[in-house]
Amino acid sequence: MTASSAETRTVKTPDELKAWAADVAKKNKEDAPVVIRVSMGTCGIAAGTTPILEALKEQIKLQGKEGTVKITQTGCMGLCHSEPSVEVVDVEKGTSTFYGSLTAEQAPALIQAGTDLAPGVKVVDKIWYFPEEEENTNGAIQARVVLRNSGRIRPELIEDYIGTGGYSGLAKALTEMSSQDVIDTVTESGLRGRGGGGFPTGRKWAFAAAQNNEQKYVICNADEGDPGAFMDRAVLEGDPHAVLEAMAVAGYAVGANQGVIYIRAEYPLAIERLQIAIAQARECGFLGTNIFGSGFNFDIDIKYGAGAFVCGEETALIHSIEGKRGEPIFKPPFPAIEGLWKKPTIVNNVETYANVCAIMRKGAAWFKSIGTEKCPGTKVFALAGKIKNVGLVEVPMGTQLRDIIYKIGDGIKDGKAFKAVQTGGPSGGCITAAHLDSPIDYESLRALGSMMGSGGMIVMDEDDCMVNVAKYFLEFTLDESCGRCTPCRIGNKRLFEMLSDICHGKGTMETLIKLRTLSETIKDTALCGLGQTSPNPVLSTLREFRREYLEHVLNKTCSAGVCSSLIKFEINDKCVGCTMCARNCPANCITGEKKGKHVIDQNACIKCGVCYETCKFHAIDKK
């Protein structure tokens, strides 16, 4: 997919845009009766999509189907559990089939089948992906608003975006609405920030719009720091123009002429696609001067992060764009009053922007019809961990956790028991089985001691030690604390040490009391959101899994079998001497004769658990 094959036009009026969209639709109908969409996001590529793409192309040639089967490379479809995956579309009927876990050997059958069901290839369950026409209907658990184009359009071709109604929201805003109308629409829609805080987007825009200043800025926060969340990346890789369009709408609403996308350097593919998209949008006149002949000028720059979680916090992010150390400062003043280069600035998350275009096109009332009264719309979650179906899911706000985990995720891997689901990343908490029926929205999650965060959702099973999980998140915050305020810099270090002690069997009841007191102190006194929320994983596990803490402290045991100082592997009498464990032991500390009982040298054992996992005879005890 090269930029040279991209068709661009200069668009000056909404009518020209409509005409272009109609031409694209016509062309798509006439092009080829079968379209195969190959999911080429970072994850798909990592799972090995590239050789499959080549095999499919080769088969089209071999079977002489150049005129009837067209291949398009799209962004992420969210079907991580079944990568590499493709969607085969019957253009005339408008129906499609999703195939997953493909191998290059299946390419001939797939091309042969056309729109019929290809034999012997795994079909992905519909719960994961609805053909466009069945979408957002009753009975569907998932709803696609943010991910509506991701996996469907070719992100490097602006015409595909135009074909889905792209830039018509901007056209409408600029030619039919005043800035105030735009703000009113967004306010009325009830859209709340998807970056974690849930602040009403319309209200934020109104603050900035009310500032009397020649120069204002619109920033897109694409720092996506939660380790385990990747929905922003999916949008940027799969539908980059949606973000550009929404930023221009925001610019018009608040009176800003310059946008900045702050993106983490770890997302090279997303950066490349954004750069292509910006160049195309400029060429077509959707960015630049006098957009849609309205006299409104707007352009967008990309700035890169450099690996600092705290830079996702808006004031730190602004410092980073200014080329400084990304340290947060005390708010107020809020960025809407005094932000980038001390000018009024709005900072919004990628997913928030992706919603804005849909709202502009379909209206506030439509948006409010999805989700709950207080939280309209959808939320995208990155479902991962000990779940059968890992992937990106988008559900209406208010959906129950249980539906996500058991209906969409298909339950826990390997028949194990569910223990907890962690949301909100390092700022969030763990939710237990008792609360699986809670609806998902900002308030409910907070009431459970967790938070929405950016949408990471990590499922844990009986083999996860919650003390160790709390320690993991603390280690993360410790790593990422900018060091500016004492509670976060030193307090978190002490918390981490206490948790380490507990995991090593050195904790006492007093440690538990101190752990809680210090956690609460840090929460109350830290400077920015990072520090204020960093004790959440500790407090939430202390509350929900107190028994596990007590077991570590009083009995010096770890029933999940994770804390290596507290466990021991031993071979029992079921050992038949198959030598499997000895051969796989990375520390070479298992000895024994063939067909005779083996022994583990406890001094050399590194407690990696490989023997435990490889033994087919249940001959290894974990104590």
Partner 1 sequence: MGKSCSCIGCDGVLEAHPDAKKELEAYIDSLPIGDDIDANRGYLIQSLHKAQDVFGYLPESVQLFVANKLKIHLSEVYGVISFYSYFTDVPVGKYKINVCTGTACFVRGSMKILDELSRHLGIKEGETTEDKRFSLGGLRCVGACSLAPVVMVNDKVYGNVTPQMVQEILNDCE
Binding residues for ligand FMN, rule: CB under 6 A, are: 193-197, 199, 221, 223-225, 310, 312-314, 347-349, 352, 454, 528-530
Is 147 near partner 1 (CB under 8 A)? no
> Kind of pairing, strands 590-591 and 34-39?
unpaired
For partner 1, the closer CB: 398 or 561? 561
- In whole angstroms, give the CA distance from residue 406 to residue 337: 45
Which option in ligand FMN, partner 1, ligand FES, none does residue 314 bind, with CB closer than 5 to 8 A by kind? Answer: ligand FMN
User: How far apart are CB 355 and ligand FMN at their closest, in Å?
Assistant: 9
CA atoms within 13 A on the CB side of 70: 17
Distance of CA 336 to the CA centre of its chain: 26
- In whole angstroms, give the CA distance from residue 74 to residue 89: 13
User: How far apart are CB 227 and ligand FES at their closest, in Å?
Assistant: 6
Which option in ligand FMN, partner 1, ligand FES, none does residue 308 bind, with CB closer than 5 to 8 A by kind? Answer: partner 1
> Kind of pairing, strands 378-385 and 391-396?
antiparallel
Binding track over 283-312 against partner 1, x by CB under 8 A = --------------------xxxxxxx---
For ligand FMN, the closer CB: 193 or 240? 193
Is 426 near ligand FES (CB under 6 A)? no
User: How far apart are CB 75 and partner 1 at their closest, in Å?
Assistant: 12
Which option in ligand FES, partner 1, ligand FMN, none does residue 454 bind, with CB closer than 5 to 8 A by kind? Answer: ligand FMN
* The token pair that represents 217 in the structure block: 């800025």
For partner 1, the closer CB: 101 or 179? 101
- In whole angstroms, give the CA distance from residue 119 to residue 68: 20
User: How far apart are CB 81 and partner 1 at their closest, in Å?
Assistant: 5
User: How far apart are CB 325 and partner 1 at their closest, in Å?
Assistant: 4
- In whole angstroms, give the CA distance from residue 518 to residue 572: 44
- In whole angstroms, give the CA distance from residue 598 to residue 618: 13
- Residue in the block written with tokens 């029926």: 437
**Structural contact between residues 204 and 336, judged by C-beta atoms closer than 8 angstroms:** yes
User: How far apart are CB 313 and ligand FMN at their closest, in Å?
Assistant: 4
Binding track over 359-398 against partner 1, x by CB under 8 A = -----------------------x-xxx---xx-------
For partner 1, the closer CB: 354 or 469? 469
Is 385 near ligand FES (CB under 6 A)? no
- Enclosing H/E stretch for 486: helix 486-486
- Enclosing H/E stretch for 168: helix 168-176
For partner 1, the closer CB: 358 or 566? 566
Is 285 near ligand FES (CB under 6 A)? no
Radius of gyration of the chain (CA): 26
In the range 25-84, which residues lie near partner 1 by CB under 8 A?
A: 41-43, 46-47, 80-81, 83
For ligand FMN, the closer CB: 145 or 600? 145
Which option in ligand FES, partner 1, ligand FMN, none does residue 385 bind, with CB closer than 5 to 8 A by kind? Answer: partner 1
Q: DSSP secondary structure string, 382-398?
A: EEEESBSS-EEEEEETT
User: How far apart are CB 25 and ligand FES at their closest, in Å?
Assistant: 37
Angle 353-7-285 (CA atoms, 0-180°, nearest 5)?
50
Is 458 near partner 1 (CB under 8 A)? yes
For partner 1, the closer CB: 285 or 428? 428
Is 469 near partner 1 (CB under 8 A)? yes
Write 287-295 long-range contacts (CB < 8 A, 24+): 287/244, 287/248, 291/170, 291/174, 291/248, 292/11, 292/12, 292/13, 292/14, 292/170, 292/171, 292/174, 292/175, 293/12, 293/13, 293/175, 294/174, 294/175
Cα separations in angstroms, 609 against 367, 388, 556, 561, 606: 50, 22, 19, 9, 8
Report the residue number whose CB is nearest to ligand FES: 228
Dihedral angle over CA of 332, 338, 344, 348, nearest 10: -50
User: Which region holds residue 228: left if phi is over 0, alpha if psi is between -120 and 50, else beta?
Assistant: left
Among positions 228, 238, 371, 507, the unique one binding ligand FES when judged by CB under 6 A: 228
Is 202 near partner 1 (CB under 8 A)? no
User: How far apart are CB 266 and ligand FES at their closest, in Å?
Assistant: 11
**Structural contact between residues 231 and 455, judged by C-beta atoms closer than 8 angstroms:** yes
In sequence order, the 6+-apart residues with CB closer than 8 A to the CB of 206 are 183, 187
Which option in ligand FMN, ligand FES, partner 1, none does residue 233 bind, with CB closer than 5 to 8 A by kind? Answer: partner 1
In the range 527-556, which residues lie near ligand FES by CB under 6 A?
A: none
User: How far apart are CB 192 and partner 1 at their closest, in Å?
Assistant: 24
Give the residues across from 614 on adjacent strands: none
For partner 1, the closer CB: 249 or 354? 354
Is 510 near partner 1 (CB under 8 A)? no
Q: Using CB under 6 A as the criterion, which residues of the chain lie in contact with ligand FES when the complex forms? A: 227-228
Q: Using CB under 8 A as the criterion, which residues of the chain lie in contact with partner 1 when the complex forms? A: 41-43, 46-47, 80-81, 83, 225-230, 233, 265-266, 303-309, 320-327, 341, 382, 384-386, 390-391, 422, 425, 456, 458, 460, 464, 469, 472, 476, 482, 584, 586-587, 606, 608-610
